Amino acid sequence: MSDALNQRPLTARLLATDGVVTLDRYREAGGYEGLRAALAMSPEAIIASVREAGLRGRGGGGFPTAVKWSLVPDTPVQKYVIANGDEMEPGTFKDRLLLERDPHQLIEGMAIAARAIGASVGYVFLRAEYFEAARQVSAAIADAQAAGWLGDDLQGSGFSFHLHLHTSAGRYICGEETALISSLEGGRAIPRAKPPFPAVAGLFGKPTVVNNIETLCNVPHILRLGADWYRGLSRTDEGGTKLYGVSGKVRRPGCWELPMGTTAREIIETHAGGMRDGLKLRGFLPGGASTDFLTDAQLDLPMDYTHIAKSGSRLGTGTMILLDDRTSLLGMLRNLETFFARESCGWCTPCRDGLPWTAKLLGELEAGRGRPEDLELLARQTRLLAPGRTFCAHAPGAMEPLQSALKHFREDFERALAPAAIGEAA
């Protein structure tokens, strides 16, 4: 168990048991020793350790965790830590695994983060549909509090941290940290202008850190085993392991903890078992629905933030969605854009009106009623909904699969034009 835990710190405990990792099982495998170490350290030393480990946010943006923590002002005011468990990105299911099977890992990570920034209150903000996760997290919070790992005066250290579970209202936009904060305050889930950033003025106007579930689950292991160990887990310069997922027509869709920088080819062919018989891979979204398509020519890229960004896409959540040669590209895109259109908060016009129009254009093409000018209209949408033209990153993220599909698979769009329209164009 110890060797497995050193190689797969996020999942070794849950793989060794059929059910949920209880507090006793968690403690037997070194659980809460990272928090014990943190309680004897200064906040500055905790942040330095996380910085040396090279931990980057696992929610999609890949922002350095220690940098985010260090932006919180060192002032004696109420501060908050929030775990973003609003996992609603299509094709993404990695956080659910940790929430349902090993919730104490998250609790310990949140307590360490709270110690690092001087927060006394935390919230687990959970996707509305994650009923089993809510049940397990709620029970784990009660057990941790009874054992003195939450509440007042943790383990006699003088540090107090109170943790609460909050279930989302059920909107995708809540995954954006400022919309999440608005929802947690009881308001409409709409993003906020930045600056000020949440680290300065977040929940109820107080300094707040919002981290992804997987990000926080890495923290206890860094404090327990050290930054050098954590960096050594990776195959690239970015530290740690990563929960990679695959959905699509493979033999074994699923989620696996692997060294950061594992190639897309190894994930798909070795762990997911390769494509089903008779199918060929055409392309893949490397990090969920809001990332750009890569093609089979890029399968040997290390799946980390730097390499995937250089290739023209984003690692995102690290959960791939595959496109095979028998699946309609237009149908896949129309499905994704319909989702993004439905989940727009409606705050800004380009997103509120542009996304439904994009989905409608794709539907016309899919039905064989497309016109040549529709292709230019779609390309124009990707420019009008680009970063800097909308209030938040929702619409620009929705454009990533579309803009890359127009680049890599334009023949699919051209084949979908109505025969009459092609004749008129000729």
Contacts of 64 (CB under 8 A, 6+ apart): 51, 54, 55, 56, 57
Q: What is the pLDDT of residue 1?
A: 63
Q: What is the pLDDT of residue 420?
A: 56
Please tell me whether residue 212 adopts helix, strand or coil conformation: strand
Q: What is the pLDDT of residue 61?
A: 86
Amino acid at 77: V
Handedness of CA 113, 119, 120, 125 (dihedral sign): negative
CA distance 88 to 106: 19
Q: What is the pLDDT of residue 422?
A: 53
Cβ count near 268 (within 10 Å): 22
CA distance 203 to 23: 30
Residue among 422, 247, 420 nearest 327 (CA): 247
Residue-level pLDDT, tens digit, the chain, 426 residues: 667 888 999 999 998 888 999 999 999 999 999 999 999 999 999 999 999 999 999 998 899 999 999 999 999 999 999 999 999 999 999 999 999 999 999 999 999 999 999 999 999 999 999 999 999 999 999 999 999 999 999 999 999 999 999 999 888 999 999 999 999 999 999 999 999 999 999 999 999 999 999 999 999 999 999 999 999 999 999 999 999 999 999 999 999 999 999 999 999 999 999 999 999 999 999 999 999 999 999 999 999 999 999 999 999 999 999 999 999 999 999 999 999 999 999 999 999 999 999 999 999 999 999 999 999 999 999 999 999 999 999 999 999 999 999 999 999 999 999 675 555 554
Structural domains of the chain sorted by starting position, each given as residue range(s) with its CATH number in brackets: 2-232 (3.40.50.11540), 241-324 (3.10.20.600), 329-425 (1.20.1440.230)
pTM for the model stands at 0.95
